[in-house]
Amino acid sequence: MYYKFILIFFLFFVLKANSQNLDSIFISKKEILKSIKTDDKKLQFLFECGNYFYSKNVSKSEYFLREALLLCKDKNAIIEGDVLHKLGFIEKNKGNLSTSLRYFNRAKDIFEKTNDTERYASIFFDIGYLYRYKNQMNKEFEFYKKGLELSVGQDELILGKGYLHLGNYYTRLQKLDSSIYYYDKALEVFKKLNRDDRVYNVYNNIANTYYKQGEYNKIINIRTLVLKFAKKESNQLLVSVNYHNIAAAYSKMKEYNKALKYLDSAIMVAKKENFKLRLSKSYGSIAKINYAMKNYRESYIYYQKYKIYSDSIYESQLSNTIVEAEIENKLKIEKKNLEIINQKQAFDKKLYLIIIIVFFLLSIPLVILLYRNSENKNKIIEANLEKEKIKKEVLLQKFKRSEIEIKNLVADNSMRLEFLKQLLSQLKKQRKSINSIDVKNYIKDLSFKIQQQITTDSKLTVLKQRINSINDGFDNMLISHYKDLTKTEREVCALLRLNLSVKEIASIRNSSSDAIKVTRYRIRKKMNVPKSQKLEIFIQNLSV
C-alpha cells in the first residue's frame, strides 16, 4: 500500500510539472497568434498549435482547433477537413459519439469534394471505428470494407490502418485466426515504413487477442512495452488505455491489488485530460474488483461514479443525437423539396413517353397472343376440313361401290322376274296336255326353277344388309327428326339416298312404279322439301 501512494504521488508530480510547462507554451502561442496579420497565416498557425497539443493536452488542442474552424469556414476547405477530422477524435474520446460522427461525416464530404483520396479512404476506417463504440457492428464492417477498397493504390500507411481495424474487428467476433492474420499484415506495413507508433498500436491490439485466449502474462508484457512508448510520446490517451488494460489482465489473474494500482493511474490521467469515456470504464472496473474482493461499500461508491460518467456520456450522446436528427431531417426536407421541383419539371416531359412505351410493351404480347390464337384456330379449322374431306371421300367411295353392287343385284332381280314370267307362260301352255310321266318331269323341272328363285331371293337379302350397312345411323336420324315417316317411307328414303331410280326401287321392293311415286310424294310433303330441290339431293345432304 505504501508503494502505491509513492507511485501515485510521483505520477501526480510529473503530470503537474508537465502541465505547468504546457500552460506556459499555451500562453506564449496565444501571444504569437495576436501578432499574425493575415487570416491565412493565422489559420495555418492555429491548426499547427492544435496538432502540437493534440497528444499532450486535449483541452488546449481543442481550443486552437475550434478557433481554426471558425476562421476557415468557406475559406480553406483542406484545413477545414483536417480540423473537423481532429475534432471528431476529440469528441469521441470525450464520449460524444454522435457529435464525433457528425464531424467525421462533414470531413468525409470535404475530402471527397477536394479529391483528397488518401484522407477520404482513411476516414472510412475512423467512422467504422466510431460505430464500434455505438455497438453497430454491421455498419462498422461496412465502413472498414469500403475504406480497404479505397486504400488500394494509396499510401501504405492507410492500408496498414485498415488491416489494424479489421484485426480488432475479428478479435471481438472471436475469429482469432482472422484477427492474427490482419494484425500480421498491419505489422508488416508499419515496420516497412519505420512507424514505431503504429507498430506499438498493433501490439496493443494483439494484446486484445491474447486476452480472448487467456494469455494474461503475454498481455502484461506487451502492454507494459506499449505503455513505455506512450509515455515517451506523451500520448495521454494511449497511456490511460494501457493502464486500464494492464489492470484488466491482473484482475483476470485475481491479483486485485495490482489491478487497482494501475486503475488509479488510468483514472489520474483520464481526469487530467477529461477522458470521460475512459473514466467511465475505469470506475466500472474498480467497482467490479472491489465487489470480487467483497469490499461492497467501496464497490458501491465506485459504481456510483461509474454511473455518473456513464449517464453523462449517454445524455450527451442522446442530446447530440436529437440535434443531429433535427439537422438531418431539415436537410432531408430541403433536399426533398428541391428534388420534387426538379422531378415535376422532368415528369411532364417523360410522362407521355412512358405511357407510349408501356402501351407498346403491353401490346406486343397481346398481338402475339392474338396472332397465335388465330393461327391455332386456322390450323384447327384446316384440320377439321381435312377430316371432313377425307370422310366424304371415304363415304363417296362406299356409295359408289354400293351403287354398283346394288345395280348388279337389281339386274339379277329383274332376270328373276323375267324368268318367272316365262315360267308362267310355259305352265299355261302345258296345262292342256299333261301325262303322268310328263307331270313328274314337270315337277322336277319346276323344283329346279324354284331353287333358282330362292338363290335370287338370297341376293335380295344381301342387298338389304348392304343398305343397312351404308345407312348406319341414317334410319335413327329419320326417326328422331322426322317422326311422321312410316317404316316403308324410311326404307324408300334409304334407297333414294343410294341414288336409285323409281323403277329400280320398285323392282327391289316388288312394287309398281306408281306406288313408289306416291310414296315419294308423301315423303316430300312430310319432310317439307322445297319444290325447287330434288328429293334425292335433299336426302343425300342430310347429315347423320
pLDDT in tens, 56-110: 888 888 898 888 888 887 778 888 888 899 899 898 888 888 899 999 999 999 9
Q: How would residue 19 be classed by pLDDT, with cut points 50, 70 and 90?
A: low
Name the least confident of 165-174, 224-233, 424-433, 497-506.
424-433
Provide the grid cell at 19: 502541465
**Domain with residues 471-544, CATH architecture:** Orthogonal Bundle (1.10)
Q: What does the pLDDT look like over 198-215, one tens digit per residue?
A: 888 888 788 877 787 888
Segment of 7-11, 20-24, 427-431 carrying the highest mean pLDDT: 20-24
Predicted TM-score (pTM) above 0.85: no
- For the chain, the first-to-last Cα distance in angstroms comes to 124
Domain coordinates of the chain in residue numbers? 471-544
pLDDT for 440 equals 57
Cα 532 from Cα 138, distance rounded (Å)? 96
Q: How would residue 142 be classed by pLDDT, with cut points 50, 70 and 90?
A: very high
Cα 504 from Cα 510, distance rounded (Å)? 10
pLDDT for 519 equals 92
Cα 108 from Cα 120, distance rounded (Å)? 6
Region class of 194: left (phi > 0), else alpha (psi between -120 and 50), else beta: left
- To the nearest whole number, what is the mean pLDDT of the chain? 79
pLDDT for 15 equals 46
**What percentage of residues in the chain have a pLDDT greater than 90?**
11
pLDDT for 92 equals 86
Q: Residue 75 gets which letter from DSSP?
A: T
* Cβ neighbours of 432 (radius 10 Å): 6
Helix axes 236-252, 216-232, angle to 10 degrees: 160
Cα 285 from Cα 306, distance rounded (Å)? 9
DSSP letters, 165-183, are HHHHHHHHTT-HHHHHHHH
Comparing 473 with 65, which gets the higher pLDDT?
Answer: 65
